[in-house]
Homo-oligomer: A and B are copies of this chain.
């Protein structure tokens, strides 16, 4: 059996063939984003070492950072007890969030129920996505 065959045999994909993958900065353990993998994108991730997901909105494979250059190089992958969620520790270039933040989780619940922005942008999304066409 190949590495992929061994590894994928323990994964439980949902009714849409997806498993959530929580991506974490391997240096400071900050959660960067939640995305979803199907079997093919999990295989691509193992093969290439670059975090690759299945885009639910575009219904296609998506190499994280393919447009922005903000790729995620995989360091370690963890599986939970039920086999239905992954944690992927990565080396993140630039920022993980398409809105320009290092992490997609840049809003915190305040006492009045507002979601307050608690981070500063690390890049200008207009510039990054425009220039990459």
Contact = CB atoms under 8 A, between A and B. Distances in A.
Interface of A: 1-7, 10, 20, 22, 24, 29-31, 33-34, 76-82, 85, 87, 97-99, 101, 104-109, 111-115
Contact of A81 (B6, B78, B80, B104): B104
How many copies of the shown chain assemble into the complex? Answer: 2
A77 B7 contact: no
A86 B25 CA distance: 17
B108 A77 contact: yes
Nearest to A78: B105
Contacts of A114: 6-7
Report which residue of A1, A33, A112, A113 has the largest number of chain B beta carbons within 10 angstroms of its beta carbon.
A113
Given A98-B81, A101-B81, A34 B22 contact: yes
Given A24-B31, A34-B85, A115-B10, A78 B3 contact: no
